[in-house]
Amino acid sequence: MTISRRISKDGHLATIVRDIGSFLLIPAGMIVVSLPVCVISRDWSVLAAFVITLLGVLVVSGLCRYWGRRAQTGTAAQTLISVALSWGLLAVVGGLPLWLTAVLIGPQASPTLKAFSDISNALFEGMSGFTSAGLTMSLRPSQLPASLQWWRSLMQWTGGVGVIAFAIALLDPTHNHHALFKAEGRQDQIRLTVSATVKRIWIIYSGYTAVGILLFRLLGMSWWEAINHSMSAISTGGFSITDSSMGAYDMPVQLAVMVMMVAGAVAFSRHDIIIRQRDPLALWRDQQHRLLLVLLLVGSGLVGLEHYAAHQRFDWLGSSFQWVSALSTCGFSSQPLQFWSDGNKLLLSLAMVVGGAAGSTVGGLKLNRLLVLIKTVVWRLQGNVLSPHERMSRRLDGSLLQPQQALQQVESATSLAVLWMAVLFAGIWCLAAVVPTEYTLTDVIFETASALGAAGLSTGIAAPSLFWVGKYLLMLLMWMGRLEIVPVLLLFNLLSEYLLLPGRLTGRLARRHGRL
């Protein structure tokens, strides 16, 4: 039975609509929190834009919840569809205040704000914000009203830990909390229930945000800069309120930002152990985080050597900062990247595809899957040298796996890696057809990897001047990358079935999601 027929037969379309209505309450609450910022900063046009957006969101949410008022608990597949649709709508909600403000202010708007009168630019900013990607249409963020600077940071801060994860703490028990938790790429439960896990994650997340604010303020940032940059750093988002990102600050601030970016790339389960047991070495005892630390050190050295070979000078801080920003998929930059060598752009592209630890705020393929792929090669080589009577042991992160368990781990990591590579190459091919001729293939690879990995570093392609097809392509990549592709494929499969288009391939991928 096809997915569309199953949904219609079981009457669970109402469940999907109800879930979307519930999720829309999250950005509605974010707008309410932002209204005092508009009043304090006297941004009356922004206040009007927020009120209009809030009324629209509440109406849509109310209608959705009324339609699904008798809906039952959804299946895992239906939950994934709800999540994919909700994240798509978040781009609209996030972009509307920017677009409405630009329209309301009109010709008096600054050039940066005026760019958002183009709805594609506003939607792009909303998608990049909520996916914590960091690619931006704001060429000079300092020209934006203070309340819109706050809105951009708040989108990233909420999206970094997961809008759906936040919703779990508020939704009623009829929702499939476990399926929702997995839909955003999370697996580790640090408490007995998913709801308790999410609440613990938010406590840790808020605590690190507060620490970042105090640290940045002590090192010379204003309170406003510290608040916004701490929210963007711990969420590994990368939106800044300065025109040159972290290039506006000196070495101590950049080093502190690097620490915050690394903290955002560490799994919340590891943070929980470090905090409860007061044991920083717990980071090294975990294979995934040991690999993270090794990659941070080795990658910084490689980027530094490549920078020296290309420019005949060694910039250890700049090289290390950009590598940490890429591997943590944060997107802060300390210098323009369009002038970097092709070799360094490819190294940073690889880092953005890999990403940090699973269960953190990062994008990318995640290090736990990279570990499985490395182990697969090791197990294969071991199997070739063993005698027929010898039995091979398969260990992963200190645990001994049964052959069937090892096979499932390999199948899961390989399947998702293949999906990532397929989407990456398709994105490169499509983006290369629409970018201006002054950009090289290396620039296109870099920008595509940045969007799919939700990283936010840019060579300049992502800009208001980009052809609208390219903007929506990058938005699609950010959307798919944030949800780890499968939920979006499942949604496309459903749409293809309703439109009587072939959907067998994506249907098979969706049915295997339990093993992904």
**Domain-located, residue 103:** yes
**Does position 355 have pLDDT exceeding 50, yes or no?**
yes
Q: Which residue has the higher pLDDT, 497 or 227?
A: 227
**Does position 151 have pLDDT exceeding 90, yes or no?**
yes
Nearest in space to 134 (alpha carbons), one of 327, 331, 325? 331
Q: Which residue has the higher pLDDT, 87 or 145?
A: 145
pLDDT (0 to 100) of residue 76: 67
**Domain-located, residue 109:** yes
49 band by pLDDT with thresholds 50, 70 and 90: very high
Domain that holds residue 166: 3-187
Q: Please give the single-letter amino acid code of residue 420.
A: W
**Domain-located, residue 176:** yes
pLDDT (0 to 100) of residue 431: 96
| List of residues 6+ apart from 451 with CB closer than 8 A | 133, 135, 427, 462, 474, 477, 478, 481
pLDDT (0 to 100) of residue 465: 92
pLDDT (0 to 100) of residue 515: 45
pLDDT (0 to 100) of residue 171: 52
CB 425 within 8 A of CB 401: no
Mean pLDDT within 469-474? 96
Mean pLDDT within 334-362? 91
pLDDT (0 to 100) of residue 73: 65
**Domain-located, residue 15:** yes
The answer to which of 257-266, 283-292, 448-457 has the lowest mean pLDDT is 283-292
Q: How far is the C-alpha of 87 from the C-alpha of 162, rounded, in Å?
A: 10
Q: How far is the C-alpha of 124 from the C-alpha of 478, rounded, in Å?
A: 10
**Domain-located, residue 311:** no
Q: Could you give phi then psi for residue 395, rounded to 5 degrees?
A: -115, 140
Give burial (CB, 10 Å; 0-12/13-18/19+) of 150: buried
Q: Which residue has the higher pLDDT, 34 or 281?
A: 34
CB 282 within 8 A of CB 270: yes
**Domain-located, residue 298:** no
Mean pLDDT within 130-152? 93
CB 71 within 8 A of CB 20: no
Q: Which residue has the higher pLDDT, 3 or 201?
A: 201
pLDDT of 100-128, one tens digit each?
A: 999 999 888 899 999 999 999 999 999 99
**Does position 18 have pLDDT exceeding 70, yes or no?**
yes
What is the CB neighbour count within 10 angstroms for residue 216?
Answer: 24
Structural domains in the chain (count): 1
Classify each residue of 355-377 as buried b or exposed e, where b means 16 or more C-beta atoms within 10 Å of its C-beta. bbbbbbbbbbbbbbbbbbeebbe
pLDDT of 295-315, one tens digit each?
A: 999 999 999 999 999 888 888
pLDDT (0 to 100) of residue 83: 79
**Domain-located, residue 240:** no
**Domain-located, residue 194:** no
